[in-house]
């Protein structure tokens, strides 16, 4: 089966960019819920969620976590050894930080 390198690259980049967006949203939900439950259980969750989701601290944390991975994959996918490099990256990738 022939793999179109451009489509393959786009797919892998989309995958990791989507993962970043999902983890960002999950972390915001958890922080919102914890904050509301502790400080003001009578308040609605939505305003707190939006504030945390849009916080520069959370955005920067996700940027620091995922931008290097995305850049690394872009460089690896540009190489002639497309499949081998990506397979090695996935085997060797050791995510850091707490599980969300």
Taking the chain (100 residues) in runs of 10, the rounded mean pLDDT of each run is: 78 91 91 84 78 92 91 74 70 72
Say if 94 falls within a structural domain: no
Say if 13 falls within a structural domain: yes
Domain that holds residue 14: 5-82
Given the structure tokens 């690394």, which residue do they identify?
Answer: 72
What predicted TM-score, i.e. pTM, was given to this entire model?
A: 0.49
pLDDT score at 1? 43
Say if 89 falls within a structural domain: no
pLDDT score at 52? 86
Say if 22 falls within a structural domain: yes
Say if 16 falls within a structural domain: yes
For the chain, helix, strand, coil in percent to 5 are 75, 0, 25
pLDDT score at 2? 63
- How far is 24 from 100, CA to CA, in rounded Å? 10
Say if 97 falls within a structural domain: no
What is the tally of structural domains in the chain? 1
Say if 96 falls within a structural domain: no
């Amino acid at each position: 089966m022939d793999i179109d390198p451009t489509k393959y690259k786009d797919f892998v980049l989309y995958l990791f960019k989507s993962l970043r967006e999902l983890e960002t949203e999950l972390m915001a939900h958890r922080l919102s819920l914890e904050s509301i439950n502790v400080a003001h259980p009578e308040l609605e969750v939505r305003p707190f969620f939006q504030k945390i989701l849009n916080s520069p601290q959370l955005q920067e944390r996700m940027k620091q976590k995922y931008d290097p991975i995305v850049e690394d994959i872009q460089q690896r996918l540009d190489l002639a050894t497309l499949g081998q490099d990506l397979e090695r990256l996935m085997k060797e990738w050791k995510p850091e930080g707490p599980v969300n």
